[in-house]
Amino acid sequence: MIKKTITIAVTSLMMMTVAHAKSTYGTVNGVEISEADVQMTMGPSGMEYSVLDPEMQKRVLEMVVDRTLLTQAAQKSEVSKSSEYKTQLEALKQGLLLDVWMKKMMSDIEKGLTKEKLEAHFKKNEAKYSTPKQLKARHILIKVDAEDDNKTKAEAKAKAEALVKELDGAKDKQAKFIELAKTKSEGPSGVQGGDLGWFELARMVPEFSTAGDKLKKGEYTKEPVKTQFGYHLIMLDDRKEAGVKKFEEVESSIRAELGQEEFTTKVQEMTKTLRKDAKIELVTAKATPIAIPAPKVETKTEETPATK
């Protein structure tokens, strides 16, 4: 029930409540440009001002200057005395009041969750926090298309078999594999020495996963592995067996999950109670019936030979 996004107006109101530290950005008519001013201008982009290049930083500050000048002009006007301003300000205050109150309620609920309760939930739902087996491998691919003739397919397989022999004769198998991947592989990972990183078995085609899973760390397939993409040589760099995450790894997410559940329940119960004691009068617009005229029916008198 907590709002996922707050309107720009409410955000602006919140920003104005932030204590203004000594500005390092400059001043506009003697008023310091604060961190809050800069962040408000940056908006929900998620970018940090500090990582922008000098030209972009200057553009952001120019936008802050324009906004500050317009705000100062608005402050000098009579608009703050208008009923429209007061009505919208009150609406913003009400929205902000509810938002802060509900966030505090959520925070209090999360803080009140004991470690014992979190651990009990973890044990009861271990399957939810399980991790599948993962392999870290690299490969060399010799491509084969489905429409290739038998001769082309045989040549591709022979090329892959020749690469296996080169590996067999190398002293440093991994270094040789990386070299061959960079120079011989026809797959996109070739430039990275065939590195595929970590992956779950289900992410790869079955033939590839099955062959890779049979290898021990540092081993490579002695026969090319045929898949729909062609012939692969696979080297296993590492493996992680299936298991369950440690409680410490998921404690914060469990706290947030249970907190959200309790918060939702509490708000629903509170709403029901408040409704019982509240005087609620609703006015709904009545539908005005619309008269739809009946379609006109044109009649034609056909002339017959007798009436001509």
* Residues 176, 234 within the same domain: yes
Residues 122 and 254 grouped into a single domain: yes
User: Average per-residue pLDDT in the chain?
Assistant: 87
CA 69 – CA 130 distance, rounded (Å): 56
Q: Say whether both 256 and 120 belong to one domain.
A: yes
Note down the domain range covering 252: 115-126+245-275
pTM for this model (two decimals) = 0.54
Cα–Cα distance for residue pair 160/162, rounded to 1 Å: 5
Between CA 22 and CA 32 the distance in angstroms is 8
Q: In a 10 Å sphere around its CB, with 0-12 CB exposed, 13-18 middle and 19+ buried, how is residue 39 labelled?
A: middle
Q: What is the DSSP string of 142-176?
A: EE--TT--HHHHHHHHHHHHHHHHHHHT-SSHHHH
pLDDT of the residue at 29: 94
CB 114 within 8 A of CB 228: no
Answer yes or no: are the C-beta atoms of 177 and 194 closer than 8 Å.
yes
Structural contact between residues 246 and 253, judged by C-beta atoms closer than 8 angstroms: no
Whether residue 168 is found in the same domain as residue 258: no
Q: How far is CA 45 from CA 42, 64, 150, in A?
A: 6, 16, 54
Q: How far is CA 168 from CA 3, 112, 172, 233, in A?
A: 61, 62, 10, 12
How far apart are the C-alpha atoms of 24 and 32, rounded to whole Å?
A: 8
What would the pLDDT profile of 34-75 be if each residue is shown by its tens digit?
Answer: 988 998 888 877 788 888 899 999 999 999 999 999 999 999
99 and 167 part of one domain? no
**Do 251 and 122 reside in the same domain of the chain?**
yes
Structure tokens at 270: 């509170």
Please write the tens of the pLDDT for every residue from 81-100.
Answer: 999 999 999 999 999 999 99
Give the chain's domain count.
Answer: 3
Does 237 share its domain with 252?
no
Tokens found for residue 304:
């017959």
Q: Are residues 250 and 221 in the same domain?
A: no
Same domain, 103 and 174: no
Q: What is the CATH number of the domain that holds 151?
A: 3.10.50.40
